[in-house]
Amino acid sequence: SQLFTSRWVESKHKSDYGQWKLSAGNFYGDAEADKGIQTSQDAHFYALSALFEPFSNEGKPLVIQFTVKHEQKIDCGGGYVKLFPDDLDQSDMHGDSQYYIMFGPDICGYSTKKVHVIINYKGQNHLIKKDIKCKDDELTHLYTLIVNPDQTYEVKIDNEKVESGSFGDDWDMLPLKKIKDPEAKKPSDWDDRAEIDDPSDTKPEDWDKPETIPDPDAKKPDDWDEDMDGEWEPPMIANSEYKGEWKPKQIDNPDYKGTWVHPEIDNPEYTHDATMYKFNNIGVLGLDLWQVKSGTIFDNFLITDDVKEAEEFGKETWGKTKGPEKKMKNEQEDMERKLREEEEKEKNKEDTEGDDEDDKEDGEEEEGEDDEEPDDDAGIEEDNNGKPKDEL
């Protein structure tokens, strides 16, 4: 708890940022080991960051890893981290503070359930062009981003690779290698029509028929007054002989040359950059988020250059807690279900007893009425035919 308050700095850029608390949540594998930092207020922005010894990832892998648990059944909110240079003013960190990398899950409704991988290159943020699905259940999940010095990358969820590729292919950081030759133009005699009108095809002489004709079965009403109503005209109906616009049949074009392809040339503005992956003075890890429904727990943050170490650390933390955590959650759900069933049974029992009491009171009232008005035929009720019948 002391490390949490001493290590992490809350931004003062806004006066109403959401409050964080240290918690393992409602279900966990280990009550102490699974304590993480948790969002605690609905519909708030959050801004928290931690400083570490600055370094450069030049010539070696960069691994960003952490766990996220949306135990609140998150409806809309971020679960990602941002990696900043060490000169970030932590007390003024906000949504527009320039970062190096943004990585992690983002959920909003049914349409947005993705893992962000945003890379800052020459002051511009570039979103990955691939759609990476994130986990949307209530359990803890491990997110890992590996950036290699050969400018390839890998995204892992729960220590399993879910996406990989290269900076050049999956981000638009550099201009295109090839562009359309601005000097090239389609030749004026280039024929790209696959089919043409058959010149020997002619329209039949009886083709042209009107689209509508007067209804031959229509008759002028007997009370039609031409002086008052004007000249009577039969209503128009669709002409069954109308064939529409005539078009000659199509034949293969003997001069067809195919689709003209615009030739490409090397883009003079393209220059290969082998250092897109490299960041100097990496020194701050930040959580800069908006959440509608709070309760997300972040834990097990790791920034390293050792891919194997990250995998092992994931196994020692998330790997050990995932089984017991799920077991505890299932047990809680079973207990809640049983309590609901017991409450339902108790309610039904009370309703039934209430009905019995009502019936008993009704019966007593009927007996009282009989006592007040004695009758020779007491206890016997007659049906409509005057015949006695048993009381129900």
Mean pLDDT of 291-298: 97
- Kindly report the backbone phi and psi dihedral angles of residue 266, in degrees, each rounded to the nearest multiple of 5, phi listed first: -60, 135
Averaged pLDDT of the chain? 90
Confidence (pLDDT) at 374:
45
Confidence (pLDDT) at 362:
60
Q: Could you tell me if residue 84 is inside a domain?
A: yes
pLDDT tens string 170-185: 999 999 999 999 999 9
* Residues spanned by the domain of 106: 8-176+275-326
Q: Is 106 annotated as a binding residue?
A: yes
Contacts of 118 (CB under 8 A, 6+ apart): 101, 102, 103, 125, 126, 127, 128
Confidence (pLDDT) at 347:
85
Q: Could you tell me if residue 82 is inside a domain?
A: yes
- With bands split at pLDDT 50, 70 and 90, how would you rate the model's confidence at 367? low
Is residue 235 scored above 60 in pLDDT?
A: yes
Q: Which two structure tokens, joined as six digits, stand for 218?
A: 């229509």
Q: Could you tell me if residue 346 is inside a domain?
A: no
- With bands split at pLDDT 50, 70 and 90, how would you rate the model's confidence at 377? very low
36-39 β-sheet, strand order: 20-23, 36-39, 296-304, 62-70, 140-147, 152-157, 160-166
Q: Could you tell me if residue 93 is inside a domain?
A: yes
Q: Could you tell me if residue 318 is inside a domain?
A: yes
Is residue 388 scored above 50 in pLDDT?
A: no
- With bands split at pLDDT 50, 70 and 90, how would you rate the model's confidence at 100? very high
Q: Could you tell me if residue 232 is inside a domain?
A: no
- With bands split at pLDDT 50, 70 and 90, how would you rate the model's confidence at 357? low
Q: Which two structure tokens, joined as six digits, stand for 63?
A: 């691994």
Mean pLDDT of 115-132: 97
Cα distance between residue 260 and residue 132, in whole Å: 36
Q: Could you tell me if residue 358 is inside a domain?
A: no
Cα torsion 341, 327, 108, 33: sign: positive
Cα distance between residue 63 and residue 156, in whole Å: 11
Cα torsion 74, 75, 79, 84: sign: negative
Cα distance between residue 65 and residue 146, in whole Å: 9
Confidence (pLDDT) at 333:
93
What's the CATH number where 281 sits?
Answer: 2.60.120.200
Quote the percentage of the chain above a pLDDT of 70.
89
Confidence (pLDDT) at 151:
97
- With bands split at pLDDT 50, 70 and 90, how would you rate the model's confidence at 376? very low
3-class DSSP state for residue 351? Answer: helix
Q: Is 288 annotated as a binding residue?
A: yes
Confidence (pLDDT) at 375:
47
3-class DSSP state for residue 332? Answer: helix
Mean pLDDT of 212-235: 92
User: How big, in percent rounded to 5, are the helix, strand and coil portions of the chain?
Assistant: 20, 30, 45
DSSP secondary structure string for all residues of 255-279? T---PPPPPEEE-TT----TTTT--
- Which DSSP category does 90 fall into? G
Is residue 310 scored above 60 in pLDDT?
A: yes
Mean pLDDT of 117-136: 97
Cα torsion 291, 81, 9, 14: sign: negative
Number of structural domains found in the chain:
1
What interhelical angle do 318-372 and 307-316 show, nearest 10?
Answer: 30
Q: Which of 47, 43, 50, 145 is nearest to 97 (CA)?
A: 47
Q: Is 30 annotated as a binding residue?
A: no
- With bands split at pLDDT 50, 70 and 90, how would you rate the model's confidence at 352? confident
Is residue 392 scored above 70 in pLDDT?
A: no
Quote the percentage of the chain above a pLDDT of 90.
83
Is residue 371 scored above 80 in pLDDT?
A: no
Confidence (pLDDT) at 379:
40
Identify whether the C-beta of residue 149 lies closer than 8 Å to the C-beta of residue 307. no
Choice between 342 and 127, residue whose per-residue pLDDT is larger: 127
Q: Could you tell me if residue 280 is inside a domain?
A: yes
Identify whether the C-beta of residue 24 lies closer than 8 Å to the C-beta of residue 31. yes
